[in-house]
């Protein structure tokens, strides 16, 4: 089974010229979803990772499954204003404006070894902000794992410049 064949491409979504890579079709496929989670887990089995930082929203699904398989904790990385308790946050640049992500102040402790998980790495803005959040909280980002890489948008290189090893299961050319 080729996992890449299970990812649906939707042209001109959300705007003209974008080729949207939809992983919901992969997640609907029982064997494909199981294999995806297994491939995201196996490089880290037996490692010193203490928690997964899953980025809202598909990173919650994938990160929760990976955390379960590794028998470790899960840290929810959410858009500003979505978490119910005290938080720390990082603002980051978007194509037009800024956004902000946050975590609870007690979700990462000094010395925690964190793996960032999300469905796709494009420009890397949210993953870079998540890296900064973990570091601000005293944790160490030991890697980032994604299903899809869009290499032309530079996100992987951006994270690697921050000293974060990146693992992806597949890549697609274009946006």
Rg (Cα) of the chain, in Å, rounded? Answer: 16
Contact between 66 and 117 under an 8 Å Cβ cutoff? The reply is: yes
Residue 166 belongs to some domain of the structure: yes
* DSSP state at residue 114: E
> What stretches of the chain adopt beta strand conformation (E)?
8-11, 19-22, 51-55, 73-79, 87-94, 97-104, 113-121, 140-149, 166-171
Residue 106 belongs to some domain of the structure: yes
**Host domain of residue 45:** 35-171
Q: How many domains does the chain have?
A: 1
HSE, side-chain direction, 13 A CA sphere, residue 96: 0
CATH number at residue 82: 3.40.50.2020
- Which residues belong to the active site? 58, 95
Contact between 66 and 73 under an 8 Å Cβ cutoff? The reply is: no
pLDDT truncated to tens, each residue of the chain (175 aa)? 899 999 999 999 998 988 999 999 999 999 999 999 999 999 998 899 999 999 999 999 999 999 999 999 999 999 999 999 999 999 998 767 899 999 999 999 999 999 999 999 999 999 999 999 999 999 999 999 999 999 999 999 999 999 999 999 999 987 6
Q: Which of 64, 42, 45, 68 is nearest to 53 (CA)?
A: 64
């Amino acid at each position: 089974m080729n996992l890449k064949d299970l990812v649906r491409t939707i042209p001109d979504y959300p705007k003209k010229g974008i080729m949207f890579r939809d992983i919901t079709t992969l997640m609907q496929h029982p064997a494909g979803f199981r294999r995806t989670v297994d491939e995201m887990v196996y490089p880290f089995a037996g490692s010193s990772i203490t928690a997964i930082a899953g980025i809202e929203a598909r990173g919650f699904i994938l990160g929760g499954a990976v955390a379960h398989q590794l028998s470790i904790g899960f840290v929810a990385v959410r858009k500003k204003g979505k978490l119910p308790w005290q938080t720390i946050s990082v603002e980051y640049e978007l194509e037009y404006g800024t956004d902000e992500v946050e975590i609870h102040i007690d979700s990462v402790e000094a010395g925690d070894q964190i793996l960032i998980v999300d469905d796709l790495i494009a420009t890397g803005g949210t993953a870079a902000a998540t890296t900064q959040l973990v570091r601000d909280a005293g944790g160490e980002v030991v890697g980032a794992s994604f299903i899809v890489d869009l290499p032309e948008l530079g996100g992987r290189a951006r994270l690697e410049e921050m000293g974060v090893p990146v693992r992806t299961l597949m890549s697609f050319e274009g946006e």
